[in-house]
Structure 1
């Protein structure tokens, strides 16, 4: 009988786990406590696309943490020895150091827990998945990429800032929103709110589509 792959959904509580990583033992719920987390998988160590991607994450790690209260957590179905050798190899060849933890998921336990193993793509490697998880442990965004197309770091940063902005200000964000752009105000739910909206200084296409600057 074919094993069913769990596919967590946006709005779900992020599945908890414990794992061996390049920075030591990690209990996810403890790591996540009080901060956002970007959990991302890559197919394999010592592969070209993955090297570019993790280098990109490493170069942005300081900004993610200092400006956006966000920790990084990588994963692939490789041993801890492979991870350590790869981290050192990339540091020697490029000067980029993967300082964030990378899960050694040799038994595929975490990858299967998060639906990262998709047999149509590969039965032995994780696809390029991205989970953005808020400080309450709720999955707020999921992205999946195939093995032969690298992720877009600018988009990952954009959606992280967007999620944090929407949460803080109780607003929505329009197409192609960038930090600093106007945001969408939730539509009125009562006639009184409708009248207030019509007399507001919002930029209105109509009463249900109104924007404002933060």
Structure 2
């Protein structure tokens, strides 16, 4: 199972949009890679619909989506078609048909204590260099929080761009945390910086444009 900071394990897969090599799919863009327990199930349908409805948000933030479950490609296509016919929502991102469980096991999505035949609700966020930046796991009976997935992606992207950290409950537009000074000179410069909200010498916040 990959850990935060690891290069995402590569694989070839059959998906609803055709065959793909994950490293090529990931190259140059962020990726949100998520698993669901099974097609034609209620919680999974709400989740996949949620990702589909947010496709413009993810596209605007240079982020691709890719799903997975331990189902056949025919089951995936039938489910995509059924949801589209019933709701008008189209899952047009690739969904991996992992009937062999190879990718699920590679990413630790199959957890026997929860189920030996269904992937848990995992979320992996990879950066454009293919590095795993965030991992979330949810059990079979609890749907994910789309707002948190979006918030986490923006936090990672903001942190990378501005070299800052995010405080508790950070939302876009909130102040961010700047790194603590490592020299006496840097400490003096911090104390003189009137644009910082200085809580203590090691904890200071600022607004970014």
What TM-score, normalized to structure 2?
A: 0.98
Structure 1: how far apart are the matches of 2:61 and 2:76?
27
Tell me which residue corresponds to 1:31. Answer: 25
Measure, in 2, the Cα distance between the counterparts of 1:141 and 1:208: 25
Aligned residue in 2 for 1:123:
116
Residue of structure 2 equivalent to 1:4: none
| Pair 1:107 & 2:105 matched | no
TM-score, structure 1 as length reference: 0.96
Within-5 A mapping of 1:87-166:
87-166=80-159
Task: Report the equivalent of 2:64.
Answer: 71
CA RMSD in angstroms, aligned pairs only = 0.5
* CA drift at 1:189: 1.0
Q: Does 1:15 align with 2:20?
A: no
Q: Is structure 2 residue 187 aligned with structure 1 residue 208?
A: no
- Structure 2 unaligned regions, length at least 5: none
Number of residue pairs matched? 207
Q: How many angstroms does 1:183 deviate by?
A: 0.3
Please tell me whether residue 174 in structure 1 is matched to residue 167 in structure 2: yes
1:189 and 2:182 are equivalent in the alignment: yes
4+ residue runs over 3 A deviation: none
Query: Structure 1: which 5+ runs fail to align?
Result: 1-6
